[in-house]
Structure formats: structure tokens, C-alpha cells
Structure 1
């Protein structure tokens, strides 16, 4: 049994990390670095919207090299972060793929199709010698075929909005997360209200995840919320950690191939 944390944790997670979104995050990351040793988990998209391949941007992937060297975690976040499957056929699919999100890349995929998206991302990490432990589906949407594919790969965890899951058996670990929808003023206002209520409810939770997105950084209202929330949680004594480091301290781990 692994040693349990004595201090509650906060996990700072940057979603949709790509050459085209780095400019959104840059100033925020610099400010966080100024607080001291605050490890982060970066959810890297290999070819964001099929227009921002990581390998085509040396300055960007060298920056990720530096983040790994300082103790941050990189996780795989889809392949394109874009739903390019044939149009929805049912009312539920239409809602999930056209109202809830247009970026649920892994929502419809068969096992074979999911593997065809996952393998290039795994190879990207291998080429750059980046440790890879986790996969997070865009919008946290995973088809049964995606779940089957993940069970066959040398990955240690995946997640949804409120849990982390040990792979390959999808053993859940409760890990509540705050996340915003910041595309419009009314969404930002509602997101703040909901997040404040949840943060109050989870004030004694062993871990709280902060799920930031590039669009959050484009609006002072949402950017200030994340900064103030991070500062408050650190002041409350929460230990900043990466997702994989926190998971490794939560109990018995399943065995994985080398």
C-alpha cells in the first residue's frame, strides 16, 4: 500500500496544449512559475484541429522539454481535438456533438479507430523522450471502443470531469474538478457561480483539480478567477502536484508493462 498524502492536493491542469494555444497560456504560466515550484499537468494535442502539429514547431516542443525537466507532466489529449466523424444520427448524438461540444473526438470511435488516433500520439511522446502515463479524451468523452483500446495500451490512467481511472481496469479514484465554459459572458458568469459552490462543497476533499482551457486565458474575468483560486488553495495548505504523482500516492497500483 502506497503512502497516503497527509496534505490535501491541488492539481493544475492545462487543457488543449498546442503550438497555436501556447500564446494564450504563456503569461499565466510565467506568473505561476513566479510562485515557486508549482508542478502542472499539460494535456498535449499532437495536431490541434489538424493545423498545429507539435513536430512542426521546434520552439514549442523544446519548451515542453524544459517543462518536463522542471518536473511537469505531459499527458496525451486526443490526436486532433476535433470531431471529424460522420454527422450525428440520433437526438442524443446531435446534442452531444453539436451543442455540448464540437470537439468530442473520441465520442464515436470504434476500438480500431481509437487505436489509430492513439498510436501517433504515443509515438510523438516516444520521439521526444517524454514520459507518458495518462490519456485524457477531448471533452472527457469516450466511446466503448475507446475504453477498449485504452485497456490494451501501456498507459496508467485516464480521467473524466470528476474521477481519475487506473488503467487497464478503469478503477475509479474520486478527484473532483473545477472547469469553466468561457466562450460567452453568460457562460463565464454561470461558470463562476457553479465553481464557487463546488469549491465550497469540496473544501475538505483530498484533491481538487483545476481544469484550465485556452479560452479562459483570453478573458480577464475567467483568468483572474483561476489565479485567485490557485492562490487561495495554496494558502489553504494544499500541495500542488501533477496528476500522475498524486495517483501514485493513492494506494495499490495495478501492474503495467515496462
Structure 2
């Protein structure tokens, strides 16, 4: 990819055995617009403590096949569930930005470091190559997680507004909001549909556009239609790329 080209980075979040059929639908939706393997997957090692990939041999084989085809594999937390008690600004984020899924918002440095290292080791052992990076569930990082990020050897990290090299968060590799959708309530769905409609023309000047989808998105036809329209609009001026392109 030429440096001058504008990039479109698409990703499927919450990739886990319990969402295999939903992930398949999302992959088909993305590939119909962007082509094969032009997206990333965010892998949750044990979603909510109920879907351990370590015990799902068939799903492990699928992850290896996706990775071998060129899909980038990010570590996406460990449980994806937030069990910490929060105060102040963190409490507001935990309450309003996610439904109890900001796993790394309230973790201590030691706990964040252990979960990151365990997740990295598991995913890399399954796919047989380095993970593309680490992205915290709900894009939420507490101080402990930010400190741990720089110690785990991940090439990339991402939040709602930027992509960066761990340890160099003050030098973003890409800026701008992720376009994503919410399916857990009528109000949130309406808000996310409205934002996506505005984003399709408004974000076109950005050099790097990011789009993220979740398993719950396939439960609402309106969201599926909006994702397709956004992929179509973004891919007109932006080349489907890889997060690794940002490191070149």
C-alpha cells in the first residue's frame, strides 16, 4: 500500500466460540464489500468465563485458518467482563460507555499484565504467529492497563479515538473516532445509526478510517443495513488495509 493512500481498517470484535455463527455472518458482510481477509478479529480468550477458547479445538482451527488467510488477530482482553468497583471518572465510563464489559478499566497493573501476557501467549500459540496487538474491551484502559501495555511486547493498541504503539501513546499512528454500532437498546441503536449516517460523509477526509462490528449487530436488520452502507461509502475513497500498515 502506498503511503499516500487512505486506509480503511475494519474489525470484528468479541471473537469467541459462543459467537461463531455471528462472526461468520459479520465476516461475510465485510468480505462482500472489502474482499477476503481485509479486516481484523479481536479474540476474547474466555468470554465472560463461559467460552474458553483453550477448550474449543474446532474454533482454534478456525482461528488458525483465518490468520493464515491474512486476517489480523488482536488480543481482546481475557474475560471481557468488568468486575471491578469504580470511583469518579472511571465510574462514569463504566456506567455509560459499556454494559459491564470494560474489563481493563479498573484492573491493577499486576492483574492487567498477567491477563495481557496470558492472552498473548494463548492467541499466538493457536495462530502460530505474533498477535497484531491488544485492544481492551469497550476500548477502556485504566492506569494499570496503560502501564502494562508497554511491557507485553504488543505492536499496536487502540481506543475510541486513536491507534498507537504501546509506550508511545503520545504519538498516535491514526486519529479519529471508530464507527461502531450498539444493539442492546432501542435508544442506543438509534443513536449509533444516526452517527454512522453522519460519519459516512463527514469522516471521509481522514487518512485512516476505522469501523468495528460486534456479534450483537447481526440481531438487528437496521444495523446490518447501516454497516453495509458504511462499508460501501468508506471503501469508495479508502483502500481496505491492515493495522500493520500503520507501522510502515
User: Under a length normalisation based on structure 2, what TM-score does the superposition of the two structures give?
Assistant: 0.91
Distance 1:114 1:206, change over 3 A: same
Choose which of 27, 31, 34 in structure 2 pairs with 1:33: 31
Please identify which structure carries the higher helix content: 2
Which structure 2 residue ranges, 5 or more long, are not aligned? Answer: none
Q: Which residue of 1 aligns with 2:79?
A: 80
Determine the C-alpha separation between the residues in 2 that align with 1:31 and 1:192.
17
Residue 15 of structure 1: aligned partner: 13
Q: Is the 8 A contact 1:38 1:241 kept in 2?
A: no
Q: Which residue of 2 aligns with 1:108?
A: 106
* Structure 2 residue 218 is the aligned partner of structure 1 residue 220: no
1:47-99 Cα distance to aligned partner (Å, 9 max, x none)? 000110112111211111111111110000001000122x33x3544433234
User: Are the equivalent residues in 1 in contact too, given 2:200–2:230 (CA < 8 A)?
Assistant: no
Q: Which runs of 4+ in 1 moved over 4 A?
A: none
Q: Deviations over 1:102-158 (max 9, x none)?
A: 111111112111112112101102322132131001111111111111111211111
Check whether the contact 2:26–2:215 (CA below 8 A) recurs between aligned residues.
no
Report if aligned partners of 1:10, 1:208 keep a CA contact under 8 Å in 2.
yes
What is the CA-CA distance between 1:218 and the residue it aligns to?
A: 1.2
Aligned residues: 243
Matches of residues 1-258 of structure 1 in structure 2 within 5 Å? 5-35=3-33, 36-85=35-84, 87-88=85-86, 90=87, 92-101=89-98, 102-128=100-126, 129-170=128-169, 171-176=171-176, 177-234=178-235, 236-245=236-245, 247-249=246-248
Cα contact 1:65–1:130 (8 A) shared by 2: no
In structure 1, runs of 5+ residues without a counterpart are 250-258
The structure having more radius of gyration, on CA atoms, is: 1
TM-score, structure 1 length as denominator? Answer: 0.87
